[in-house]
Amino acid sequence: MENKGNFCNDKGEYILSNPWLRVYLSPWGAGIHRIYCKSPDNTFKNIALTLKDIVDYTQNSSYAGATLAPTSGRLEHGILKLSGHHFTLDRNENEKNHLHGGSHNLSFCQWTLKELTDVTAQFTADAVDGLDGYPGNRKFEVTYKINGNQLEISQNAWSDKETYFNLSNHTYFNLNSFSESGLDQYLYIQSERAAINDISHIPWMISDIKNTPLDFRYKRIIGRQKERFSSDSQIQYARGFNHCYLLKKENSSLPDAALFSLDKKICMELYTDSPALVFYSGGFLNSDLQYRKNENDTEPLYPGCAIALEPCSVPAFNGNVQGMRTFSRQIIYKFIPNDIEP
C-alpha cells in the first residue's frame, strides 16, 4: 500500500482531491462520508449526507455512504433460490426479511485499504462461506477514483462457489447543501418501468410507470410528486419513494439518472452499467442519528433530508437469482455546476 501521506486526516478519513472535487472516504463500510463539489461561485459545498461522528458509521442504520455488500435490497423471508438450491438467509429486518446482505453485511465492517493516492483509493474485504446464509468464500474490492468532475466507483467480487452478488452504494445526496430539504430537488430517471412493492417494501411485480406516482421520465421536484400522490398506497408504504427502476438504456447520450439542486445551479448525472436503480427518498430517516449540516452545526436526521440513488440488479422475485462466481459494477457520478438547463 502506498504511504497515506497527507491523504488521511485525524478522523481516519481518506481524502481524494482535485480542482473540482474533494471526496472523504472511510474504511468503515468502504464508504463515502463527504463529497465537496465546486459550485458556480467557485466555493466547495458538501452535497453528501455526513453523520455527526465516525462511530455512527460502525452501527449505521441509515447505511449512509456505505458500500452495500454482499447484496443490496430485500429478499422476502430470507429465501434465496440459486441454481436449483435453496438457501435460508439471515432475516435481519424485523425478523421477517433479508436486507442489504444480512446482520454481518460489509456495510458495518472495517475494510482494508490497499491503495491510496491523491485521486484513487481501493478497499478490500472478505466474507466466509455460510456467513448470513450465503454460499462461498468471497472476496470484495471497491475502488474510488476522481477524474475531473467525476467520481467513479468500481465494485468487484469473487467467490469459490456459485453465490449471489448485488453490490451497490448507499450515499444520500442533497445538492442544496442541506440549506433545503432533499425533497426540494429535481429528479430525472431514464426508466419507463419500475417494481411495485408490498407494504414490507418487497417487489412483487414490474409495471409501466407512465403518468403514475413513480414517473420521473421528466425532471420533477421530488417533494411535489410525493404530495401530488400522497393518497397512493405506493407513496404511503415508502413514506415517499423506495422503488427499483428498470433502466431504459436506449439513449447512451442521456444519464441513467440526474439530480438537480432547487436553483438548478448544480446537477449530478449518474451513469452505471447496472440494469436497475433504486430511488429512496429517505422516508424512514429519523432523529436517532445526527448529521452535519455544515462544518460547525449538526442536526437530527429527518425524513427526506437527503435521497439515495442505488444502482442494482433487477429484483429477485420469490428469491430466484442467477448463480455467479464473479461480479462487476461501475457507477459514475458527474457533477456539473452551471445555470443552464440540461
pLDDT at 341: 42
Question: Total structural domains in the chain?
Answer: 1
Lowest mean pLDDT across 69-73, 176-180, 314-318, 335-339: 335-339
110 within some domain? yes
89 lies in a domain?
yes
Tell me the pLDDT tens digit for each residue of 40-50. 888 899 999 99
Q: Is 243 among the domain residues?
A: yes
In a domain, 342, yes or no: no
Contacts of 206 (CB under 8 A, 6+ apart): 193, 194, 195, 196, 246, 315
Q: Which of 214, 100, 212 is nearest to 165 (CA)?
A: 100
What is the tens place of the pLDDT at every residue in 9-26? 777 899 999 999 999 999
Segment 216-254, tens digit of pLDDT: 999 999 999 999 999 999 999 999 999 999 999 888 889
Three-state secondary structure of 308-325:
EEEEECCCCHHHEECCEE
For 86, the domain range is 5-337
CATH of the domain at 40: 2.70.98.10
pTM for the model stands at: 0.95
Residue 303 lies in a domain: yes
Domain annotation covers residue 258: yes
Q: Is residue 32, in this structure, part of any structural domain at all? A: yes
Give a yes or no: residue 117 inside a domain. Answer: yes
Residue 32 class from Cβ within 10 Å (0-12 exposed, 13-18 middle, 19+ buried)?
buried
| Cα–Cα distance list, 105 to 43, 58, 68, 252, 339 (Å) | 37, 12, 8, 33, 41
